[in-house]
Chain A
Amino acid sequence: MHLHATSPNQLAAQVRIAHRAREKISTVDLTALNQILEHHPEDLTVTVQTGMSLQTLQDQLGKLGQWLPLDPPFPVRTSIADLLGQNATGPRRLGFGTARDYLIGLKVILADGRLIQSGGKVVKNVAGYDLARLFIGSHGSLGITVEATFKLLPRPANEIFLVREVPISEWKPLSETISSLPVNPSVFDLEGQSTHASSGARMVVGFSGTEDEVQWQARQLEGVGFSRGFDLSYARQFFEMHPDCQMASVLPSRLNEHLDSIPGPFLARAGNGILYSPGSLPRLEPSGPAALSKRLKEVFDPNGLFPEISRLP
């Protein structure tokens, strides 16, 4: 069954119909749920309908010098629902974290059509269980998110991205040098066409913050051979060129070992130990015992209306 509604209540009613008919829901069109419901700049919070694209949200927040510090590669075609369902991230994951660091409230339509809320609109809140967490990275398998409240940050006053070409065999010592510097990068990526020891790779380090902080840190990196004037378009280009990427996640200190086994092009979030490559990669580890996940799915979606959770390519 394909769902498409102009309001959360209408959508909930459609889900109730699907629930009674025990009909699987194939797609949900949230494009009509595209409004910012509340933005309190003085509180650094925003409540937004999940059909809005991330880019549109950022444009609106940007007018008041604020942003949701999440930067997946295609913000124009990533809705807030996608952002949450996929736990989508980008290069600034190192410095700013993931959706888990910003979601403070969520309204969801469950498999029986109930519209529920978890969390709220304030940045500190421990009333009740943190149900909202379960929907991040759940790929729409537990319910339909319709409204999300995020805590925001002021847009950084300045950002500088630096780059250095380095043979693969030398990237690890260089990254150790950078770790020993008194700097706090918001971006630390490694990108290359091949992981052979002699192949060249690109190391990108970024800083976000006040003018003074960012300039000072940039100078530290220049001191070890990095050049200014770079930008983050490589991150988007990588996924444009390789739309069917796999993702692996390892202990950051072990990234080097895993790099050796990758045959082709790769993009690594070196600071986080995350690897993207069109080739095959080791699977992500499970978030918990299979039995618990299975019970969770059964409790919230006993008739299997929503798709099974599965990692998107």
Chain B
Amino acid sequence: MVYECDAYTLEKKLPQIVALPTTTAQVVAIVKICAEEKIPVIPRGAGTSLSGAVLAVTGGVMIALTRMNKILSLDPQNRRALVEAGCVNAWITQAARPHGLLYAPDPSSQPACTIGGNVATNSGGPHTLKYGVTTHHVLGFEMVLPDGEIAWLGVRPDGGEELEGYDLRGAVIGSEGMFGVVTQVLVKLIRAPQAFKTFLAVFESVDDASETVSAIISAGIVPGAMEMMDQLITQAVEAAYHFGFPLDAGAILIIELDGLAAGLERQGEQVAEICRRHRAREIRIAKSEQERMDLWKSRKRAFGAIGRLSPNFLTQDGVVPRSKLPEMMRFIAQTSAEAGLRIPNVFHAGDGNIHPLILYDERDPDQVRRAIHAGEKILDKCIALGGSVSGEHGIGVEKIDFMARQFSPDDLQAMEQLRSVFDPEKRCNPHKMFPGSKRCADFAPKKQIAS
């Protein structure tokens, strides 16, 4: 059943009703009924959340925005587009491309995920290193509040970028669908870079690759993207997509420079020099746009290749300061050894946003237990190194227990205060994010195995 969970499949619960509205007026009607009957409302985009943000923990009415997926208008002169919340992320860039424009935040799920979901999660992606995340590219949006009122927050389609008052738009972005149902989104478009220089650098060790990432930033270069893949994940991706990745490298880095062609030559030389200084054994440069697209396709489909390695995996989403990457990667290797589980890594090295993938077999309850424990150790280490337990996937239900480790009770209380401004009854996507939330009645790994 599609709606019983999102991409975080460890917990499942069917909502009582799934509504698929086609207009804002319908969303308002549904939300008002739920307000009268005091029923939870669960907004949903494409259900690609990796943290259980769309789980209907205590049932309720799931409002799936997938039928509200139109691009309403595109304004190339002012570099804006107005789209319905269910519009797929990748469609926006597709529509903007003929005008030499694109929508920058590019999560790997972009062929499926919706802009409304991106707003809920404050989604990232590989190119956020240079361009920022969703909150830097969403100008404003229409939202149905939990009491059924329609609100426009932020910049209006025909309005100026500077506004008077509180940045309520910014407070809602990343609120994981807990403040209302977003129905329309006004996004910023950027000029597509004139040229790219995309490197594939091959290293003997994760250490060398991690140090290279730090060194490039220290040299004052901000690439468009810097991604790392370790040996295990590279092997899986190569077997699945046959790009031409080396199978025996310790780690590979994808480094993409973008901008005016006039500037790329020299910057490219600097990057190559830094890679060589850190013992890169091979440096390839994509020779054509097609090769560049193939490289990114392989990278972005990495999670899809995991099936070759393992029946199940836990996706982690921690962040550490870039300079702590070498230490963090060594810690992950150590944790893997201690847990007796393989942990491949494919992630946004440029941001310090790691994605260790803890492989396990759900049919073995001991592996499940060890996998969860390994994940917890990794997230605790992220906090200890001055990072965060979530770089882009959000807290959802998955990381509720970590909120009290990363934030103080006062911090959490301030967040609850903010929530009360929008949803005093806590009916919109309830039981998420905060410690003390009700957990899914079905949550017990052993039970998942049986079902």
Contact = CB atoms under 8 A, between A and B. Distances in A.
A279 interface: no
B372 interface: no
Interface in A48-101: 65-66, 87, 97, 100-101
B410 interface: yes
B127 interface: no
A309 interface: yes
Contacts of A137: 165-167
B276 interface: no
Contacts of B394: 126
A130 B170 contact: yes
A165 interface: no
A22 interface: no
Interface string B213-239: 010011011100000000000000000
A124 B163 contact: no
B132 interface: yes
Given A213-B262, A288-B165, A131 B171 contact: yes
Interface in A198-235: 209-210, 212-213, 215-217
B221 A154 contact: yes
B265 A127 contact: no
A23 to B, nearest CB: 22
A209 B163 CA distance: 29
A7 interface: no
Interface in A9-51: 40-45
Contacts of A131: 171, 414-415, 418
B153 A122 contact: no
Given A125-B319, A130-B173, A249-B163, A288 B168 contact: yes
A292 interface: yes
A210 to B, nearest CB: 4
Contacts of B159: 249-251, 285
A249 B162 contact: yes
A204 B321 CA distance: 38
B161 A116 contact: no
Contacts of B421: 292, 295-296, 299
Given A43-B323, A126-B122, A126-B394, A247 B162 contact: yes
Nearest to A108: B414
Interface in A116-165: 116-118, 120-131, 133-134, 136-138, 142, 153-155, 157
B238 to A, nearest CB: 27
A130 B171 contact: yes
Contacts of A127: 388-390, 395, 399, 402-403, 406-407
Interface string B129-160: 00011011000000001000101111010111
B262 A126 contact: no
Given A123-B351, A136-B170, 18 more contacts: A44-B217, A97-B136, A121-B321, A124-B128, A126-B124, A127-B388, A129-B174, A131-B171, A134-B170, A137-B165, A137-B167, A182-B194, A217-B260, A247-B162, A249-B160, A253-B77, A283-B164, A292-B168
27 contacts: A43-B322, A116-B411, A118-B414, A122-B388, A124-B133, A126-B391, A128-B406, A128-B411, A128-B412, A128-B415, A130-B171, A130-B174, A134-B171, A179-B77, A209-B260, A213-B263, A254-B158, A272-B162, A274-B160, A284-B162, A285-B164, A286-B165, A288-B153, A288-B169, A292-B421, A293-B165, A296-B418
Interface of A: 40-45, 65-66, 87, 97, 100-101, 110, 114-118, 120-131, 133-134, 136-138, 142, 153-155, 157, 179, 182-184, 209-210, 212-213, 215-217, 247-254, 272-274, 283-289, 291-293, 295-296, 299-300, 309, 311
- Complex A-B, nearest 10 residue pairs according to Cβ-Cβ distance, in ascending order: A249-B160, A133-B170, A154-B220, A213-B263, A249-B162, A216-B262, A287-B165, A124-B391, A284-B164, A288-B168
